[in-house]
A = this chain, B = another copy of it.
């Protein structure tokens, strides 16, 4: 199957790496809103201007859209879904319902199939939650993220006056993870669940005390957490904080039995060296599923919940029963 990559930032590069690793897939090309000459593919994939995309609508089986959730995907995905089967990683939780309906309408108008909000959260973590919840209806989910780089929080720090660069790590609080793992079903606060660890490069002459205060008091991003701010040099940031690791854990504790006397814990964890490459790999597996569903005449917008796991695997049903069941 032939796959297009729409957008070539960190995620687009992660998708490209995953595609070259998939034996049943071929990379058609990269589409960019920048000047194609300015985009250098690591694999020397052909680069096309985004404006020309419709010229290739019959040459591409699935388009993987690698834009941002804040401003790109809300319009990009419904637009492209008219003419392409598409995959996106939309993660603005409060707007998923609306995004789903928009994409569903345009995909159906062109007999296309789309899947939105795949990656690891939303995505694989959502899948872990739905299975665990269906099996243990008497129970409670907890999700911990990290230790890993939150790009949203890093960007928020960079917008503060006097900050040259920054990296923010979300760190799960091990003591709370242990409690949840042992079946504690209390409600934990944001502060009890995660610590925020910041590495900040200040501009010359900037007031570090003010920067630290502004970070720690920033509503939504930092105010509800214990936050540690470390000022470091640009060289140190580049040397020690250049990667984008991430991960996390979804834990469901629940009980069964006539008097709920038996406790069970289901845990799904990821430890990722490269968040964009792993997320890209998830998008590629879902691209495979979307092509197959479209071939079967199953049109419209899907989520990870609507797709049988076998659709994601390159193995045949017989091989799957033999080797993975």
Given contacts A281-B135, A306-B317, contact A130 B312 (CB under 8 A): yes
Task: Say if the beta carbon of A131 comes within 8 Å of chain B.
Answer: yes
Given contacts A138-B21, A262-B273, A264-B270, contact A320 B305 (CB under 8 A): yes
| CB closest chain-B residue, reference A94 | B322
Restricting to A104-151, which residues have a CB under 8 Å from any CB of B?
Answer: 117, 122, 124, 126-131, 133-138
Task: Say if the beta carbon of A31 comes within 8 Å of chain B.
Answer: no
Q: Are A268 and B271 in contact (CB-based, < 8 A)? A: no
Residue from the list B23, B124, B257 in contact with A277, Cβ < 8 A: B257
Shortest beta-carbon distance from A235 to chain B in Å: 22
Bound form: Cα–Cα A267–B120 in Å: 13
Given contacts A256-B17, A271-B264, contact A325 B303 (CB under 8 A): yes
Q: Are B96 and A325 in contact (CB-based, < 8 A)? A: yes
Restricting to A266-325, which residues have a CB under 8 Å from any CB of B?
Answer: 266-274, 277-278, 280-282, 285, 288, 303-310, 312-314, 317-318, 320-322, 324-325
Task: Say if the beta carbon of A75 comes within 8 Å of chain B.
Answer: no
Q: Are A256 and B305 in contact (CB-based, < 8 A)? A: no
Residue from the list B17, B277, B304, B321 in contact with A100, Cβ < 8 A: B321
Q: Which residues of B contact A270 (CB under 8 A)?
A: 264-267
Shortest beta-carbon distance from A19 to chain B in Å: 11
Q: Which residues of B contact A14 (CB under 8 A)?
A: 256
Given contacts A96-B321, A268-B267, A322-B97, contact A306 B310 (CB under 8 A): yes
Task: Say if the beta carbon of A233 comes within 8 Å of chain B.
Answer: no
This protein's copies in its complex: 2
Chain A interface residue count, CB cutoff 8 Å, equals 70
Q: Which residues of B contact A263 (CB under 8 A)?
A: 273
Task: Say if the beta carbon of A55 comes within 8 Å of chain B.
Answer: no
Residue from the list B128, B264, B309 in contact with A304, Cβ < 8 A: B309
Q: Which residues of B contact A309 (CB under 8 A)?
A: 127, 130-131, 134, 304-305, 309
User: A137, A256, A318, A320: which has the most chain B beta carbons within 10 Å?
Assistant: A256
List the 5 shortest-distance A-B pairs measured between CB atoms, nearest first.
A262-B273, A134-B312, A305-B310, A262-B274, A256-B277
25 sampled A-B residue pairs with Cβ under 8 A: A14-B256, A18-B256, A21-B256, A42-B258, A43-B258, A93-B325, A96-B321, A96-B322, A96-B325, A97-B322, A122-B325, A124-B131, A124-B266, A129-B324, A130-B310, A130-B320, A130-B324, A133-B313, A134-B285, A135-B278, A135-B312, A136-B281, A262-B272, A306-B308, A307-B308
* New contact pairs (6) apart from A97-B318, A256-B274, A257-B274, CB-CB < 8 Å: A126-B324, A134-B288, A135-B282, A263-B273, A305-B309, A309-B309
